[in-house]
A = this chain, B = another copy of it.
Amino acid sequence: MRFFMNDYGMGAHPAVLDALAKANDGLYSGYGTDGHSRRAAGLIRGLCAADGADVHFLMGGTQTNLAAIAAFLRPHEAVIAPASGHINVHETGAIEAAGHKILAAAPDGGKLGPEQVRSLYVSCTDEHMVKPRLVFISQPTECGTMYSLAELRSLRGVCDELGLLLYIDGARLAVALTAEANDASLPDIAGLADAFYIGGTKNGLMFGEVLVIVNEALKADFRYIMKQRGAMMAKGFLIGLQFCAVLENGLYFEIAAQANRQARKLQGGLARLGVEFAFRSVTNQLFPIFDNSMIAELEAGFDFERWSDAGGGKGVIRFVTTWRTLDGDIYELLARVAELQAARAAGRK
């Protein structure tokens, strides 16, 4: 089976594993108060050009989004998010379980526009309705698409105008930052968001995410909320040291760049075969559309996820590439698609 299922169904990059092994004999103060974590925090502040930012290390994406939003909002305050946003679909109602409504904008390739933000904001007219307070976006989106710097600035603009916070889920931020199409740097992100997170789990770490809180007003007591939500790791040094291992040498970006390169190869190949896509991905997730019968045949040799029904006997599936995706796997997949297409063409004659 060739693996295009996701970017977390595997161990860590060898350099990360080495770092873990090397640090294994040390003794560390607990809960992220150790030297590795401090060093990693410093690296991240540097890369973000955000000297005053608070940096926290958490174990996974859902718990990062949950802890951040629980910390930032009062009970009646709500989140504005794209309907396809991870918190709106794939976190089992974690945000609502923390007490907050999500106002979801109709999806458009996973991206949220300033007019959608404004429209949801003005629809909440008084105290009988929730009060929108935080705009949630993902960079890149759950559809593989990405915000340009201009788009991020216009979202920041509407947030400033309406008194909203801008929060960016960066589970896959690395593939955005290293995408060919990208023009928003890490300092840009840090300069525009009130808080955001930089994902590790899906970019070569064993586990770990970094929450960066830029807005001074959001910093107070965040470690209390982390602990309360079960998101403060006893052996917190493990996250700090992993981030050190990939940030000190640019490896973090190389891992992502390789995932993107493999995605472009696969995307280009599929396009040449006439395959259509549900979204115009520029990162490591591709969403091709195939006949359902072809999807079933592909499943015999390839691991991937069925994403959604596309109507008319077709379906959207998801191929994810990673730093570990081999050229050979891609060629085999393309060859198989071509073969199945040919068989169908022959059958139609």
Q: How far is the CA of A219 from the CA of B155 in the complex (A)?
A: 29
Known: A11-B20, A11-B26. A230 touches B75 (CB 8 A): no
Known: A30-B8, A76-B221, A221-B76. A93 touches B130 (CB 8 A): yes
Residues of B within 8 A of A129 (CB): 89-90, 92
Chain A residues numbered 2-22 whose CB sits less than 8 Å from any CB in chain B: 3, 5-6, 8-12, 14, 17, 20-21
The answer to whether A128 and B227 have CB atoms under 8 Å apart is yes
Known: A71-B75, A92-B129. A207 touches B228 (CB 8 A): no
Chain A residues numbered 86-112 whose CB sits less than 8 Å from any CB in chain B: 89-94, 96-102
Residues of B within 8 A of A300 (CB): none
Residues of B within 8 A of A5 (CB): 27, 29-30
Residues of B within 8 A of A303 (CB): 27
Stretch at the interface among A55-63, A280-288, A334-342: A55-63
Chain A residues numbered 41-94 whose CB sits less than 8 Å from any CB in chain B: 59-64, 66-67, 70-71, 74-76, 78, 89-94
Which residue, of A3, A78, A90, A127, has the highest number of chain B Cβ atoms within 10 A? A127
Select which of B11, B99, B206, B231 is within 8 A of A99 by beta carbon.
B99
Q: How far is the CA of A24 from the CA of B206 in the complex (A)?
A: 9
Stretch at the interface among A174-182, A185-193, A233-241, A266-274: A233-241
Q: How far is the CA of A26 from the CA of B324 in the complex (A)?
A: 11
Which residue, of A25, A94, A128, has the highest number of chain B Cβ atoms within 10 A? A128
**A200-225 toward B: CB 8 Å interface, digit per residue (1/0)?**
01100011000000000000010111
Select which of B25, B201, B238 is within 8 A of A206 by beta carbon.
B238
Say how many copies of this protein the assembly contains.
Answer: 4
- Does A23 count as interface, using CB distance less than 8 angstroms? yes
The answer to whether B8 and A23 have CB atoms under 8 Å apart is no
The answer to whether B27 and A10 have CB atoms under 8 Å apart is yes
- Does A229 count as interface, using CB distance less than 8 angstroms? yes
Closest beta carbon of chain B to A75's beta carbon, Å = 6
The answer to whether A127 and B221 have CB atoms under 8 Å apart is yes
Residues of B within 8 A of A102 (CB): 101
Closest beta carbon of chain B to A69's beta carbon, Å = 11
Contacts A/B (CB < 8 Å), 12 sampled:
A6-B30, A27-B303, A62-B232, A74-B221, A75-B98, A76-B97, A93-B100, A93-B228, A98-B99, A201-B234, A207-B233, A229-B230
- List the 3 shortest-distance A-B pairs measured between CB atoms, nearest first: A63-B230, A11-B24, A76-B224
